[in-house]
Structure 1
Amino acid sequence: MRKRPVKRNAGMRKPTRSAKKSPFWSGARLQLLLGCLFVAFLFGVIYHYRDGLAYYLGFKSHKISKTETEESKKISDVRNYQLMSKYEDKVIGFDVSQYQGEIDWNKVQYVENTFLLQFVFIRATAGKDVTDACFKYNWEQAKKKKLIRGAYHYYRPNENSIEQANNFIKTVQLGSGDLPPVLDIEKLPKNQSIDSLKKGLRRFLDRIDKHYKVRPIIYTGENYYDDFLKQEFSDYTFWIANYNFFVEDIKDDWLFWQFTESASVEGIPGNVDINIFNGSPRQLHYLTIN
């Protein structure tokens, strides 16, 4: 016997699935969370740099010229003050070249009108045939100022290393109380391998060492140091440039740390590079030629 089809109740519908619940941290809640985290981070930074901010707002805010109104300059001033306050037991110095123009050495004494400057590195030469236009004057004035002084050579990777060393030697006479000579290497070669570059650097350093009877110092950026020089030139001491706002600790293998390129020193037009010697004043004197 054939079964009759069962009629469905037209008023009954198939139950629908409930909609998925949104994650708790989404939409407005997520934005609120991120906003709170940012505010907390901002207050943390302000608290950490409170001394630098107090210095800047209390001493410098009324002295900023039109050319110094950029936020980066303000932030740099705060960081500079904070770092130099942290390393009051170490020695602070600066470095100059012809790009600073004519310096009034009679006024040069403090960085940010607060921290005593005790040493200076002065660019002497670049490449195989360039002499810094202000070297002779700066070199003589630094001695009159009774600053511990050092001379550096800007190395050009694509020029002959011995000719570059000879250029420095004929330009710079080092004496008792001067810092060891400095090789400044920042560029990679265009037409030679890294191995060839390293051989050239070694020849330059050996020539300088033989002439002055003192082992040179190498200046470079931290990344350049880590990538190309740290292993094969570990028998040398290093002067490292790192301007990272959040780096506040000088590393053990940095003899000098150039932590800013935008400080203010009375008597020097424009921005100035500032350096920290990783030691005491007595240790800095031990480093000099005697």
Structure 2
Amino acid sequence: MRKKVVSKRTSVVRKRQRKKGVFSGKLLRYSIILFLIALIIGVGFHYQNGLAYYFSFKSNRVIKAESEAKRISDVRNFQVLEKHEGKSIGIDVSEYQGKISWSYVDTIEKKYPLHFVFIRATVGKDRPDRQFERNWRGAKENKMIRGAYHYYRPNENSLEQAELFITTVTLEKGDLPPVLDIEKLPKNQSIANLKLGLKRWLQTVESHYGVKPIIYTGERYYDDFLKEEFSDYLFWIANYNFYREEIDSNWLFWQFTEKASIPGIKGNVDVNIYNGDLQQLQFITVE
């Protein structure tokens, strides 16, 4: 009889230990889950500004930072314009500016009149700019001196690119010379072949319009690849650096900012300075 009693007691103890072990395991798992939830909530709260910015719900702090950056840009723009008072000021646009209300495009900083505009006409060998015709017509109706430019793709046939530009753009008396915009390096050809393609485009376009094209590029690209071999062309140079406050004597145009606000245009706009006054600008237009 004693053996049976002991056996029953042992069995009951073991069952209680198992239940206690199961309960402890569940409690541990729930504790870990609750801890992780609390941790996620805490991290989310701590980094709420960063997460809000990531998901495009910008906090006041982010908005203030953007406003400050815009203010600094505007101050720099105004300073550059002040130093070039008397020079001709203009802009350049493409489909990225959307539909422009040309009748409102008149000044920058409500003080400096805009005399000219370069309008993107074509891209590579097969794509006219979606807003070119509208912009080309609107600029003329707004009595601005207009010019057309081609965005050159280094890995596409240069003669096909020239042909697209020629079939898209009809220059009239008073328009600026055509512009070749080169910003990228080739992926599947040498620099020597790139330069050969650029020369073919320039020569083909010059032969068609009877006027020597202008080359647009960044200052570093100009110094490294174009300055020597294309010295017989006039250049329109992009440089947005704060240390650069005046146009170089060798530049025909200087694109000094890409973050200006212009009446009639939504978003940021590039602004350019011509290395001369309005009368001198009119002198280089197509006759």
Q: Does TM-score exceed 0.5, indicating one fold?
A: yes
What are the equivalent positions in structure 2 for 1:103-118 lying under 5 Å apart? 103-118=100-115
CA deviation profile, 1:12-67 (whole Å, cap 9, x unmatched): xxxxxxxxxxxxxxxxxxxxxxxxxxxxxxxxxxxxxxxxxxxxxxxxxxxxxx59
Partners of 1:72 and 1:166 in 2: CA distance? 42
The offset of 1:74, in angstroms, is: 1.3
Partners of 1:258 and 1:204 in 2: CA distance? 23
Q: What CA RMSD, in Å, does the superposition of the two structures yield over aligned residues?
A: 1.1
CA deviation profile, 1:133-158 (whole Å, cap 9, x unmatched): 00000000100001000000000000
Determine if the alignment matches structure 1 residue 97 to structure 2 residue 94.
yes
Determine if the alignment matches structure 1 residue 215 to structure 2 residue 219.
no
Partners of 2:263 and 2:215 in 1: CA distance? 28
Determine if the alignment matches structure 1 residue 270 to structure 2 residue 243.
no
Q: Which residue of 2 aligns with 1:203?
A: 200
Is the partner of 2:187 in helix, strand or coil? coil
Determine if the alignment matches structure 1 residue 237 to structure 2 residue 245.
no
Is the partner of 1:183 in helix, strand or coil? strand
Is the partner of 1:163 in helix, strand or coil? helix
Partners of 2:285 and 2:120 in 1: CA distance? 17
Is the partner of 1:249 in helix, strand or coil? coil
Q: Greater shift after overlay, 253-262 or 112-121?
A: 112-121
Give the 3 Å change call, closer, same or farther, for CA 67–176 of structure 1 in structure 2: farther
Residue number among 168, 172, 183 corresponding to 1:186 in the alignment: 183
CA deviation profile, 1:164-222 (whole Å, cap 9, x unmatched): 00000000000100000000000000000000000000000000000000000000000
What are the equivalent positions in structure 2 for 1:156-175 lying under 5 Å apart? 156-175=153-172
Give the structure with the higher percent helix.
2
Q: Which residue of 2 aligns with 1:59?
A: none
Residue number among 133, 136, 139 corresponding to 2:136 in the alignment: 139
Return the letter of the residue paired with 2:189.
Q
The offset of 1:73, in angstroms, is: 1.4
Assess if the C-alpha contact under 8 Å between 2:117 and 2:147 holds in 1.
yes
Partners of 2:182 and 2:281 in 1: CA distance? 23
Partners of 1:160 and 1:201 in 2: CA distance? 10
Partners of 1:199 and 1:193 in 2: CA distance? 10
Q: What are structure 2's unaligned runs of at least 5 residues? A: 1-62
**Moved beyond 2 Å, runs of 4+:** 66-72
Q: Which residue of 2 aligns with 1:3?
A: none
Assess if the C-alpha contact under 8 Å between 2:256 and 2:271 holds in 1.
yes
Is the partner of 1:258 in helix, strand or coil? strand
Give the 3 Å change call, closer, same or farther, for CA 68–89 of structure 1 in structure 2: farther
How many residues were matched structurally?
A: 225
Q: What are structure 1's unaligned runs of at least 5 residues? A: 1-65
Is the partner of 1:151 in helix, strand or coil? strand
Determine if the alignment matches structure 1 residue 227 to structure 2 residue 224.
yes
Larger radius of gyration: 2
Assess if the C-alpha contact under 8 Å between 2:84 and 2:246 holds in 1.
no
Partners of 2:123 and 2:68 in 1: CA distance? 33
**Percent sequence identity over matched residues?**
64
Is the partner of 2:103 in helix, strand or coil? coil
Q: Which residue of 1 aligns with 2:17?
A: none
